Every structure is written in structure tokens, then in C-alpha cells.
Structure 1
Amino acid sequence: MAATTKRRQDDATAAPSNPIPSSSPAFGTPVHPILDRRTAPIPAPAALKPTILPILLPPATLRPLAFRTFTKKHNLTLTSAALSSLAAFIGRHCGSGWREEGLAERVLEEAAKSWKQCSIQVIVDGDGDGDTLRGILKALEGSMSGGRIVQSKTPALSRTSSFNFGPNPGTSDTGQSRPGLEAQNSFGMSALTVASDGEADEEEEEGDDPRHWIKVIGAFDQPKLVYNVQKKGFESSTIKPSLFPPPSHKTDLFRQRYQLIHQRVLRNESFQTPSFSAEASSLHRSASFATSTNRITPIANLLGRSGSNHLLLALLTILPSGTLALSDLTGTIALDVQHAIQIPEDSAWFTPGMIILVEGVYEEDYGASDASTLGNTGGIGGTIGGKFISFSLAHPPCERRTTTLGIEESNTATGPVFGWTDFLGLGSERATGARMRRIENKLLGPESAHNSNGKIVIAAEVNLDNPTTLTALRTLLLTYATGPVTEFPMTIILIGNFISSATMAGTPNTGSIEYKEIFNDLAAVLADFPDLIARTTFVFVPGDNDAWASVPVPRKSIPDLFTSRVRRVIAEANREVGNSLGKRKEGEVIWATNPSRLCWFGGKGEMVLTKDDLLGRLRRTAIRIKTQKEVENEEDTHEKSNGALEAGMDVDMSTSDKESQLDPDTITARRLTRTILSQSHLSPFPLHTRPVHWDYAHVLNLYPLPTALVLADAEAPPFVVKYEGCCVLNPGKIVEGRRRAKWIEYGVLHGTGRVMMEEM
């Protein structure tokens, strides 16, 4: 007995340490002693990995949770194919705990964030963009364990891909939401009270000069985005632009313009049916625009509705027969403006080529003779019979830049509209906005040493073949060169025409040699201010007389053949002043296109630069609209002709009664500003009036509205007008009379400008 006990103790001592107890010899498990749990607790197996039993998750079951995460929280739209892919992924990797344990919600959250990082589309598609979604799910699969996203795997993954699977920046450590942070998180960047290492290094390398964050985008370098009506978002064009495109691109030019304005108008609160109103009524003329519901009627839907009131959004055109007409995507109809008035009165111009809102009555002609008279076939898609008698005309209501991008003036997110769209190739507002605002406050804020340095100087109609112009330019440079370095402007923009007559057009003194000599004279003037030109960025925008004979817009920059002396002078100034610059950026010169865009701090600020005689073209081609008094004297039957359109114009300018007391220059400036910004286009004219390269017409769009718009129109008076958050500037001519130089100074930080004048 003692020997048996001794043998059992020896076997227990020699037995290997295994926490798994023996169950039964029938299963082939080795014999192990049962340890006393009071003295030797069994540790949990460290290498034991939780397993997930895959399930078949129907897409319809996942739809409510996916809708709440993608649509309600991230403003994305899931297609059926994408929902099926997500349901299959969650069912395979999360199993039966997808709902009770909240595993699916975390996966959907990370998938939505990753989609925003990788795509500008708001439609999450599993077909066309299936590669993107598959890449996101594949990256998620590598960071999951037991149905959960393992945070320890995240840092290594984020360094090798563009996805961000870190903790949700919109929540605190306790899981409670922190307002504002989720709205600022984008493209893998935190929101960002603390910059990432890469961003901090980049900011350190750029130094403390705000000019490091200035970029000029030429017309031929701007990305082309196409509005997709079905997806209600912008897509990158897959067609390479050409100077000799097929004829179908001419139609696309106007279709894109119409669709942009149409979606903008429909998003206006005045065109949305109130949820508390069950009445689907037409225009209420006596009601205010904010409380009435306005509906746009397609022209083809006018057939068979003679004598009824309608509101049309259409392109104002002139038919081959000479008849004024309206055209939209469904058809064309003759327009009668005999009784029409403008809303608001004398506030803008109306020319063929503009997309306008027209309110009136359809009058059908049962003689069926209009088709042959107007030179087109009747019916849908053609010129329908009859005419549209207009009572009031107005431009489409303008939309502020902050509304288009979904950002309020307080820089807080109000829900993305096109905030994730990268219009200029510099990063979207949602992706880089928070970081760019932080850098701007650091370099130009109240506590910055460069607070007074955030200035842009703009001079136009710089005719270098005129000696008086060179004197005025010298006065401009002397105004800033005599001040401290911190007062030097960031950018000096000089806009043509740089020669009085068209270059190489066959007229005397306009050849290539003479054209090169005028820039040599400019270089001689710049050489007298080395300290200024070594700390400033010069931007040159050509006019119609510059470089070559007049061609369609956009126009290319001035060739380097004529500007070598100017570049040489600025390079010499950089060498001379280089030792005192420190981390500041050297002087540079940029030969821009017409039009072009000057941006600062990414997409934080955008200034559109264009040279055109807009005022003269508007006055020459505008149709005459009678005043309200003239209409009342002719007919007393249209007492309510000012209708809902009058209340609908969100006007921050004076009314016609007050405008009558203003000087003519102010009235002209306001009319010009309202016309261009309401059309959201730099050339709202027919192609025979202002030729445009069809494939590059997108660079003429003003959507979203820029921060500032420079209309270098020599015929218009110098002015600074702010409308719907956009500061519109016209420098006029640099020479005012014989003894004064005139230009505009624009402040980047405050977004305002002022007209400057100095005696020469």
C-alpha cells in the first residue's frame, strides 16, 4: 500500500504541466492529475483565439442599422450592391453577435469613414466603385479579431494605407460624444487639436511665411468635375479635354450649366414643400416667398394646360427666326415679355444665354402654325405650339459658399452638401478645412507677426506701352516698399491688357519685338525695388490683346519668350536679399491663364481672376424689360405681377427706391455683381457672342461661389461689393486721369477690400 502511494506521488511529480484535465481514455486524452484549484489555479490559455460562427445575414435585416450609420450620421447613400457586400462581410466576420454585441455598428462606422477618405462620391456603390469598397473591407478584415476591430492592429495599418481605423475622434475615452470633432475628422486626419507628426513636420518645413500656402491654378490645370443627376453629386470626368472636341460636347456645356443651377434652385428653401402643408398649390402671389411653395414646370408639361400659371427655369435664347424663346431639357417655347417686369426692378441684366426664372401664363395656339413659323417641329423635345406670356423675370437665387460646402460661418458642420468634393485638387473643405484654418490663424491671426502681411494688391489694365502706366506702377510699388517688411503684400496681381492694341494683329508697333520690349521696361521698374520683389509673389493675368490674337476663353498665359527679363530681375533680387530672408519664401513670378484661381491655405480661400469687358457685353446684348410703372400704365390687369419671385430674391442690397438715390457707379457695380453671381458663370452668353472652348468651359463656373472674384473690366467703375459672402472686386484702370494711380487692396484674413488711390 505504501509502495502504491509512493508510485502515484512520483507519477504526479513527473507528469507534464498541462492545464487541460483528463476527461476519458475513450477520447485518447493523456492521463493528467487533477490539480487542486485551491492551491494551483488553472490559468486561461493565452493563445486561445475566439472563434466566430458565420451566419447568413440578409441585407434587409442590416438596412436599418446601415441607414442610421451611413445616411443619418455620415450623409452617404448605400446602393443595393454595397448593402449586400456589407451584409455578407458582417455575417461572415461578426456572426450572431452582430446585433447584441454591437459588432456590426463598429464595422459600419469604420467603413463609412474609410469611404469618405477614399472617394469624393456620396453614393457608396458596390458595382462601379466596387474596387474601392472591396479594398475597404479587405483592410478591415486584416484588423479584425473575434468580430471586433483590434485597436492594436490599427497603427501599423494606418501607416501603410490611406484608411484610418483608430478610435473614433468624435467620442471620448468614456464613449460619450464630443460635439464638433466628428464634423472635422476627414481623410484620416484627426480634427484636430494636435497635428499628426507628418503635418507638424510639413508645417515646420514650410516656415512661418504665409506665401508658402499660396497657389495659382491655371485654367488648363483645374480638374473637370461633372454633375451626376442620378447620384446628385460630382464625378471626375473620364474624357480627356481637347481643343477640338466632338459636337456633342457643345450640348453638354449648356446641359451642365442648367443642371447645376437647377439643383441649386431646388435646394433653396423656397422651392421645398413644407412638411406641415398638405396643400400642393401653385404660386401664391400674396404670400411671402419663404412660406409659399414654388414649383418649376418643365416646358414639355405645358402642353394641354393653356391659361394656367407656371414658373419656368429655362435658358433664354433667340430662335433662328428671330423669336425670343425659353429652352430647357424638355423643349422650347416662344416667350412674350411685353408685360413682364424685372424682380427686383433694375437689379440685373437679362441677356440670351442666361438661365432665368420666368413666371407667367401659357397660351396655346390651336392653329398649329407655330411649328413652321418658329422653324422647328412641335411636341416634346421641340418647340411646342403657343407662347409663354411672362409677368415677371428673375435670376435664380444665389447660394452662399458656406451653404454649398455645408459649413456655417462659425466653421461648424451643418451637414455635408458638397463639402467632401475637391473642386480644385487642393483637398476638400471637410478633409483639410480644420487644419487650414488652424494654420491661417497661426500665420495671420491677431497674435502673429504677419498679421498685417495678409494683403493682396490688384491692379488692372496695366498698358505697359503707355509711359503713364509705368509711372502709376512705380507709385504702387513705392507705396509698399517704403514701409516695414511686415507690411509687404503677399501677392501683387497685375492684369492686362498689357498692350493697348492687339498683339501681332497687323497694326503698327504691335509685333513680337515691341511686345517683348514693353516687358523689358516693366523689368526695369521692378529692378528698383529689390527688397519688395524678393518678398512678394507676382501674378500676371493676360487680356484679350496679349500674347496672340483674340481666341476663345480660357486663354493661355503669356509665353516665356517675352517674359525672360522679368524673371531674371526677380531671380537677381532673390540672390541679393537672400541672406536676410531666413525661412521666408523667395520672390517669385507666376504667369497665369485667363481666367485662373488664386488659392490660399488649401481651399480655405479662393480668388477667381478674370479679364473681360463684361459690362459692355451685357449692355449690348441685354433685352429691354419695362419698369413696373410702364406696365401699370399700359395694363391694369396685372396688379399682382411682382408675385412670389420678388420675395424670393435673398437680397442684401438696397431696394430700387433706395438705389435711385445712389450714384450711377454704385448702381452699376451692384447690377454687375448680382448678374454674374446669380448665373454662377463668368460668361453667361451665347457662344457666338463670347467664344468658349467647350471642354474647358467648367473653369468658368462660379460654383461654389469663390471667396473673392476679380472682374477686371476697364469699362466698369472701380468698386468693392460683397454679395452672398463673395467679395467682388473691380480695380478699373491703374491710371486714373493723369495724376492718380488706382488699385485695390484685399485683406485675406477679413475677406474685405478697398480702393486705393495715390498721387503720381
Structure 2
Amino acid sequence: MVFSTKYSLTLPAPALEYIQQVLIDDEWAVGLELWAAEYLKGEEASSLVSLEGLKRAYEILQLGTVDDTQEADPSEVNVEAHFSVVDSFNMPPVRFDPVRAAFSVAKRKPSIAGQAASRSSYLRERWGIIREIILRNENFTPPALGGQDRDNYLKLTSTRNLLGRAGQLFLLFGMLSRNPEGRLTLEDGDGRVVLDMEDAVPGEGLFTEGCMVLIEGEYTVDDTLRVLAMGHPPSEKRHIARGLHGHVDFLGGGAMSVKEEKKYQPTVLANTQVSFVVLSDVWLDHPSTLVALRRLFEGYAEAAEYRPMVFVLCGNFVQRGWEGEGGLKQCTNGFNALTDLILSFPLLLQSHFVFVPGPLDPWTGTTLPRPALPKNFTQRLASRIPKAKFVSNPCRLRYFGQDIVICREDLMGRMLRNLVGVKSANEGADMKRYTILDQAHLSPLPESVRPTLWEFDHALRLYPMPTAVVLADKYERYELTYEGCHVFNPGRFSSVRHNQLYGMRIRQKMQLTSPSAVFASSKWHQPVVSVDADRRGRGSRLTALVQAVSALAVAPIVRVDVPLGHGVEPLWCLSSVWNAWNASDVRAWTC
């Protein structure tokens, strides 16, 4: 067979059965040759053929996308087949080799216990990845030979090259840590140096132990570095990293090349109705939570055309934790009640429901990543809801070539409690930019503050930079776009006074909803008009709405804000809009 004899690939029974189902007898000779060649373009890690990668290669051949000039027909692409939920413990163990500056998949399966060598290797990998990003940055790249500015670029110095050079200025890159005497130091791949932070001027963002930082300072006769300036390393945009490492399968299920991603772009743009809803701190033992969820689901059920593709529910699922008195029973009863609630909306059973555990959910420990919720509490929901998925924290959503990271962690509080001693210039910094993307990691903290599973540290990486990062935190809600990556915190579901739903038509700019965040993968074609659905004073609001709509050159999307304690009359606030625009041109969503 071509797979085994020519390409040295091993076909497991499910893959062989799939090939037999798809190919007819007279197609085997030519079909297998093309199929195997296309499969190898996306798979590099193992000689064992994966069923997911085999199906992906077959779909590419069916759509004719082997031809680089041909785009996929949106009507022929199964969108569901290009969506998947990735558990951290199922991600391939992709390791970084600082010597070759390349990624490869480890042959040994990672262990939760971890080997002793893993304790230091994961930190070296983290340091090596960011160092390569820095050296590729234009400010650190030497000009071409013979250029006028040959010496005008930034140069990194290793800690081992500081000895005997007191009084000189240096730029170093490394990790902030403490030595046995408790003094702040900078560690790199060659050693460490003690830092004197008295004159330090920090850059934007937060600086904690465990952060990788760039430091400019003067080396002194006391073998310390008098820090003059400190900043986070530059980040690298997703398209640059994908261009360098697009062949690497970071998530599992087969790598999608940059060319393949471009071919599916028309399909992504055509499916403007695809949206994801993210909720955090869904306390199932709180009386008002199920009431609020019912109103939320009612809104989507009444707007069937805009049913979300995915509902992501993040913990904590019990308000005071499962270890308290009656906590286990409350957790079980809460999921049973949620099961009955979802079953009362048959339309929503077509959506995916993803459950991400929080810090207080069973049987969570203190390490990241955390395993999925135990089946003891979720068995009934998993058996009754066909598309329910219980995954690790963090997890990832893969939609065509997009990578969406979901992490439920009270990270802001931990970072604020562990800031290094620098001047107060950081007090006025934008607290929303707390350096997660610059650090290319979900937990830039020392092991003593936030323990991690050493051999699963690859699941916490943010490299290549994701399309979006959901940092579900009990901290206040925020939303920002940084280097093309959308970062937001949906906020605590139980503490939000209003539920706002936005019609999403953009990947480049994501609007934050409260308590849910809905985003899709296309461009805005319609402006958004907001109206408060509270009936008090609705006459003046309708007048203002009609005036605003009449002045628009394009039919609008209308956003309706509904207080959680009120009922909903869908589209009542739009009765006058139809006089200004054809009803088919106006999109209105309520919940």
C-alpha cells in the first residue's frame, strides 16, 4: 500500500476503514498516491496516520485546493468539520530547540509528575522562544553589509560577558527571579546578575517575578547591574510566526498551512452568522443564575438565525467552592438543573456547549493546566446534551485557521500582589495591558506563586500569537486589541446588571458583550445602533433611534440592551425603523 511502502506511514484500523469507505476499487492506485502526498503536507510529527488529518487531506482534495490558485467554494465546505475544541492534555508536546531555533514534537508522552530535567527545560524553552522573537525584531536586526547604519542597532549581552566591564552600559534579556539571599536578579541561559532597581524606570505593563524582560543598565564594581530602564520584550504578530512555523501542528489534528488558510478565507467571510458566547463565573448554586441563563437562551431561541455556534461556560460553577458543607451536592444539583434548562430549548442543542473549570471547581488543584470537571457531576449533562464538551483550563477553540484561547484564572490579582519593587511610574499604566501577549505565556509567574505542570507548559504558550484570548477573571471587564490579537475579560456573570448582545461581523475588531462576548470572523458591513430596552422613556429613545437610522447610508445592526430583571418583547423597539429601511436589510438582536 502506498502509505506504508512508499511513505513509511502506519495506518490504524479506523483510518484504513475510512479509506475503504471513501475510495472505490478503480480509484485506489491514483487516489492513494495523491491522498498520502497531501496528508504529509499537514502532518510531520508521527508515522502513525491520524484519522482527523486523513479527513482534512481528503476534503482538500475534494475541493480542489491542491491548486494554489483555486479558492474553496463556501457552499461546499462543512463549517462544523473545521471547528474543534482542544484540551490542553491532548495537545502534542511541541518542544523548542534554542540551538536550532526550531520546534519539534517530542517522542515521549508528557507526564503529570514530570521528570527532574523538565523543571529547568521548560523555562529555557520559554526564554529561548522570546529571545528568537527579539532577535527577529527590526530594532535588533543588523543592517546589510556595507550599510551606513551598520552599528546602529540594539545588541543583547549575556550575563557571562559582564565580568570585568564595570562602568559600561549593557542591554540584557532574561527572567526576573530571586537569589537565595532574596535579592532580585536577572537570569538568562548563561547565568544571573543581581539588580539594583533604585533608579529603574519601568516601561508599560506589570513586572513580576517570572517575567521575561529587557533591561538596560550599568554594570558596577559590586557585581550588580544598576537598572536604568526595564521593559517587556517585543511581541511578534501571528502572520509572521505562521509564516515561519506554519508547518508545525501546535494544536493537534493536523497543521493548517498559510496557503490553506487563505483558500478557506472566502468560507470564513461568507459565514457571518457564526458567533461564540463566553460566560464566566456561572454560579449554578446561585438562585439568580439559572433565571438569567433562561432569559439569555430565550433571546437566542427567538432569533434562531443568529444561534451561536458555541457557548463557553467558565467556572467557578459553585459560588463558595465544592469543599464547603454541601458543596458536592450543590455542584451536582446545579449541573442537573442546567441540563433541564438547556433541554427546554431544542434549537440550542445544535450549538456546542464547552465547560471550563474554575479555581474553586472539583477536583481542581493549584497547578495549571487543570483537568476537566469530573464525570461524577457532569454525567447526566454529557449524556443528554450531544455537543457538550468538558475540557481543561486553559483550552482552545479552533475555527478554520483561527486559534481562540480560553483561560479561567484570577491572574490580575496574582500579578498585582507580586509586583517587583520599582518606582511608582507604573501606577498610571493601563492595567488592561498586563503583558500576557508580550510574555507569550498565560502564567508569567514563578512556581511559588502559580505552579505549573512542567511537561505541559507548551499548553500555556501564546506562540504563535492566537487570534483571540479570553482571560476570564473576577477582575473588572475589559477589551483590547493588541498586535491583531483580541484580548478580553467577559467579567463575572452574576455581577453584571445588563446582558448586551452585539451583532458581530469582524475579526479585526471585537466588541465586548456583557456578560457574554460574541465574535465572528468577517468584516463589518453595517453600523451598530444601540437602544435601551427598558420601557421607561422609550418614546424619546425611539425618536432618537429613528433619527439616527434615517441619517445612515447603510442599513444598521441594532443592539438592544435588556435589564436582566425584565421580560423581552423582541423587536418592539424597531417598529419605526421599518419606515426608514426595508425590514430585510435591518438586523436586530435581543436577549
TM-score w.r.t. the length of structure 2 is 0.74
1:354 maps to a residue whose letter is C
Classify 1:743/1:614 alpha carbon distance in 2 versus 1 (closer, same or farther; 3 Å).
farther
Q: Give the structure 2 partner of residue 740 of structure 1.
A: 498
Tell me, what secondary structure is at the counterpart of 1:227? Answer: strand
Residue 175 of structure 2 aligns with an amino acid whose one-letter code is: L
CA contact (8 A) 1:708 1:726 kept: yes
Cα–Cα, structure 1 residues 742 and 270, in superposed 2: closer, same or farther, change >3 Å?
same
The one of 429, 436, 449 equivalent to 1:689 is: 449
Cα displacement string for residues 443-492 of structure 1 (whole angstroms, at most 9, x for unaligned residues): x43xx4x42x2111111111111112222222221221111x32111111
Partner of 2:237: 400
Secondary structure of 1:617's match?
Answer: helix
Going from structure 1 to structure 2, the CA distance change for 1:272 and 1:313 (only over 3 Å counts) comes to: same
* Structure 2 residue aligned with 1:525: 341
Aligned to 1:418: 245
- Within 2, Cα distance between the matches of 1:164 and 1:231? 26
User: With structure 1 as the length reference, what TM-score do the two structures score?
Assistant: 0.58
Structure-2 residue corresponding to 1:190: 66
**Which residue matches 2:562?**
758
- Residue 285 of structure 2 is matched in structure 1 by 465
Whether 2:309 is the aligned partner of 1:490: answer yes
Distance 1:438 1:538 in 2: 28
| Structure-2 change in CA distance of 1:476 and 1:341 (3 Å) | same
Decide whether aligned partners of structure 1 residues 540 and 705 sit closer, same or farther in structure 2, where only a CA change above 3 A counts: same
Superposed displacement of residue 274, structure 1: 1.1
CA distance in 2 between partners of 1:550 and 1:704 (Å): 28
Cα distance in 1, alignment partners of residues 186 and 414 from structure 2:
21
Q: In 2, distance between residues paired with 1:216 and 1:549?
A: 20
Please tell me whether the aligned partners of residues 458 and 494 of structure 1 are also in contact (alpha carbons under 8 angstroms): yes
Which residue of structure 2 aligns with residue 540 of structure 1? 355
What residue is the counterpart of 1:709 in the other structure?
Answer: 469
Q: How does 1:328-727 map to 2 (within 5 A)?
A: 328-343=188-203, 347-365=204-222, 386-406=223-243, 417-430=244-257, 433-442=258-267, 444-445=268-269, 448=270, 450-451=271-272, 453-483=273-303, 485-503=304-322, 505=323, 507-511=324-328, 513-531=329-347, 533-571=348-386, 588-601=387-400, 604-627=401-424, 667-669=430-432, 671-672=433-434, 675-715=435-475, 717-727=476-486
CA contact (8 A) 2:335 2:381 kept: yes
SS of the residue 1:304 aligns to: coil
Change (3 A) 1:695 1:358: same
CA distance in 2, matches of 1:731, 1:308: 47
Matched, 1:242 2:111: yes
Q: Label 1:746 to 1:502 Cα distance change in 2 as closer, same or farther (>3 A).
A: farther
**Which residue of 2 is the match for residue 650 of structure 1?**
none
Distance 1:338 1:398 in 2: 27
Instruction: Say yes or no: does 1:162 pair with 2:31.
Output: no
- The reply on whether 1:228 has 2:97 as its aligned counterpart is yes
Among 177, 202, 211, the residue aligned to 1:317: 177
Corresponding position of 2:558: none
After superposition, the Cα gap between the structure-2 partners of 1:191 and 1:362, relative to the gap in structure 1 and judged at 3 Å, is farther
Contact kept in structure 2, 1:607 and 1:710, CA below 8 Å: yes
Please give the alpha-carbon distance, in whole angstroms, between the structure 2 residues aligned to 1:697 and 1:228.
15
CA distance in 1, matches of 2:410, 2:217: 33
Distance 1:526 1:272 in 2: 55
Q: Does 1:273 align with 2:142?
A: yes
2:527 pairs with 1:730: no
Distance change (3 Å), C-alpha of 1:713 and 1:164:
closer
The Cα RMSD (Å) is 3.0
Q: CA deviation at 1:278?
A: 6.2
How far is the alpha carbon of 1:280 from its aligned partner?
A: 6.3
> Take 2:282 and 2:207, find their aligned partners in 1: how far apart are those partners?
31
Aligned to 1:356, the other structure's residue is in SS state strand
**Partner Cα distance (1:522, 1:724) in 2:** 38
Instruction: Please give the alpha-carbon distance, in whole angstroms, between the structure 1 residues aligned to 2:500 and 2:186.
Output: 42
Identity of matched residues, %: 31
Check whether the contact 2:217–2:225 (CA below 8 A) recurs between aligned residues: yes
Three-state SS of the structure 1 residue aligned to 2:513 is: strand
Aligned-pair CA distance for 1:594: 0.3
In the alignment, residue 340 of structure 1 is paired with which amino acid? A
Distance in 2 (CA, whole Å) between partners of 1:549 and 1:591 is 14
Question: What is the match of residue 371 of structure 1?
Answer: none
Contact 1:731-1:743 at 8 Å conserved across structures: no
Answer with 292-301 or 750-759: which moved more.
750-759
Contact 1:227/1:260 (8 A) holds in 2:
yes
The amino acid that maps onto 2:373 is: I
Q: Distance in 2 between matches of 1:161 and 1:427?
A: 14
| Counterpart residue type for residue 563 of structure 1 | T
**CA distance in structure 1 between the partners assigned to 2:480 and 2:39 by the alignment:** 43
Give the aligned partner of residue 52 of structure 2: none
Task: Give how far 1:521 is off.
Answer: 1.5
Given residue 555 of structure 1, which amino acid in structure 2 is its aligned partner?
R
Q: Residue 210 and residue 325 in structure 1: after superposition, are their counterparts in 2 closer, same or farther (change >3 A)? A: same
Task: Show the counterpart of 2:123.
Answer: 254
How many residue pairs align between the two structures?
472
Contact 2:201/2:228 (8 A) holds in 1: yes
**Residues 368, 452 of structure 2: 8 Å contact kept:** yes
- Cα deviation for residue 700 of structure 1 reads 0.4
CA distance in 1, matches of 2:225, 2:341: 60
Q: For residues 186-213 of structure 1, what are the alpha-carbon distances to aligned partners after superposition, in whole Å with 9 as ceiling and x for unaligned?
A: xx96234458xxx99xx98xx7663332
Against the structure 1 CA distance between its residues 209 and 157, is the aligned structure 2 distance closer, same or farther, given a 3 Å change threshold?
closer
1:569 Cα deviation from its structure 2 partner: 4.0
Q: Deviations over 1:342-370 (max 9, x none)?
A: 12xxx2100000110000100023xxxxx
Q: Residue in 1 aligned with 2:541?
A: none
Deviations 1:125-157 (A, max 9, x none): xxxxxx989xxxxxxxxxxxxxxxxxxxx9588
1:668 partner SS = coil
How far apart in 1 are the matches of 2:355 and 2:108?
A: 30
1:489–1:536 contact (8 Å) kept in structure 2: yes
Question: 1:404–1:439: structure 2 CA closer, same or farther, 3 Å change rule?
Answer: closer
- With over 3 angstroms needed to count, the CA separation of the structure-2 counterparts of 1:244 and 1:748, relative to structure 1, is farther
1:595 positional shift: 0.5
Q: Is 1:458–1:745's contact at 8 Å kept on the other side of the alignment? A: no
